[in-house]
């Protein structure tokens, strides 16, 4: 199950932080590292600071966009301060986040996404996430470097995995397989198209799309439910008059 959990680092500036993050990952049983547009990689400093986790660095996947890094994931958690302007579901406690990660990793890939050393993730990058998560810290000095943040969340995930592995199974209703982020992306594009063609979106600055994105992130529809919604949108499209 831990093989289905990946750490995604976005535009890491210092290559040593890649190595230190790889070391933090491996101590907690995580080996899947994805790098989005790193400034300098491969680099000897990354390998040096990885110490015994150089294999994680050497096997790291490098991509050019966050969308490419998480497109096949069923859950994407952005590590960031809570952004009120983007009302995605937010985990205030890392242990709660870790429990959902372990549950969803049984269905498909899950990503924990960490932004740049200086200013984290952009709003556009957060929009590729299904959830946000913060690390509680001293309000007077809550600064963690990149590898420390990776270590804290990786530790929570490893602990949740150990507890789940030792837990006595209990009967629970199945939610059904979750869609990937690529499938959700197609749905949101379809929804946007129908809203525009129907005239529902008549105030460009109302941020309606952002609020609906957050609504479906909270609802977490499974693949069957998402297919039902796509079918509904397709049926509505047939009754929308084309623009003159």
Decide if pLDDT at 215 tops 90: no
pLDDT tens-digit map of 21-40: 999 999 999 999 999 999 99
Domain ranges of the chain: 2-166, 181-237
- Confidence at 11, pLDDT banded by 50, 70, 90: very high
The residue ranking higher by pLDDT, 123 or 166, is: 123
**What's the pTM?**
0.82
Mean pLDDT, rounded, of the chain: 89
101 Rama class: left (phi>0) / alpha (psi -120 to 50) / beta: alpha
C-alpha distances in angstroms, 32 versus 62, 76, 80, 202?
A: 11, 14, 20, 43
pLDDT, position 127: 87
- pLDDT at res. 175: 74
Q: Determine the pLDDT at residue 244.
A: 55
Phi, psi of 29 (to 5 degrees): 80, 10
From 121, 220, 218, 105, select the one nearest 157 (Cα to Cα). 105
CB atoms within 10 A of CB 58: 13
Residue 171 has what pLDDT? Answer: 41
Residue 16 reports pLDDT greater than 60: yes
pLDDT band at 239 (very low <50, low <70, confident <90, very high): confident
Full strand arrangement of the beta sheet holding 32-36: 61-63, 32-36, 5-10, 110-114, 75-79, 131-133, 90-91
Report which of residues 110 and 207 the model is more confident about. 110
Tell me what the mean pLDDT of segment 132-161 comes to: 93
User: What is the pLDDT, as a whole number, of residue 170?
Assistant: 45
Give the mean model confidence (pLDDT) for residues 208-215: 84
Q: Provide, rounded to the nearest whole percent, the portion of the chain with pLDDT above 70.
A: 91
Question: How sure is the predictor about 168, in pLDDT bands with cuts at 50, 70 and 90?
Answer: very low
The CATH architecture that domain 2-166 belongs to is: 3-Layer(aba) Sandwich (3.40)
| The CATH number of domain 181-237, selected from 1.10.8.590, 1.10.150.530, 3.40.50.970, 1.20.1730.10 | 1.10.8.590
Write down the pLDDT at residue 167: 56
What is the rounded distance in angstroms from the CA atom of residue 78 to the CA atom of residue 3?
19
| Residue 66 pLDDT greater than 90, yes or no | yes
CA distance 72 to 120: 23
């Amino acid at each position: 199950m831990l093989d289905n959990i990946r750490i995604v680092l976005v535009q890491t500036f210092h290559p040593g932080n890649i190595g230190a993050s790889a070391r933090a990952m491996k101590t907690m049983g995580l080996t899947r590292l994805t790098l989005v547009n790193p400034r300098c990689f491969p680099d000897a400093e990354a390998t040096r600071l990885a110490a015994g986790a150089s294999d994680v660095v050497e096997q790291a996947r490098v991509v050019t966009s966050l969308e490419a890094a998480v497109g096949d994931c069923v859950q994407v958690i952005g590590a960031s301060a809570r952004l009120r302007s983007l009302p995605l579901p937010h985990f205030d406690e890392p242990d709660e986040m870790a429990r959902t990660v372990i549950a969803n990793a049984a269905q498909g890939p899950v990503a924990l996404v960490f932004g740049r050393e200086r200013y984290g993730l952009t709003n556009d990058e957060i929009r590729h996430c299904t959830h946000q998560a913060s690390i509680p810290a001293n309000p007077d000095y809550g600064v963690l470097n990149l590898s420390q943040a990776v270590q804290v969340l990786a530790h929570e995930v490893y602990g949740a995995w150990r507890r789940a592995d030792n837990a006595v199974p209990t009967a629970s209703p199945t939610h059904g397989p979750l869609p990937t982020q690529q499938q959700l992306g197609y749905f949101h594009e379809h929804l946007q198209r129908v809203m525009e063609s129907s005239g529902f979106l008549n105030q460009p600055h109302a941020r309606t799309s952002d609020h609906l994105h957050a609504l479906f992130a909270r609802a977490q529809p499974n693949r069957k439910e998402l297919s039902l919604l796509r079918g509904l949108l397709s049926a509505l499209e047939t009754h929308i008059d084309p623009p003159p």
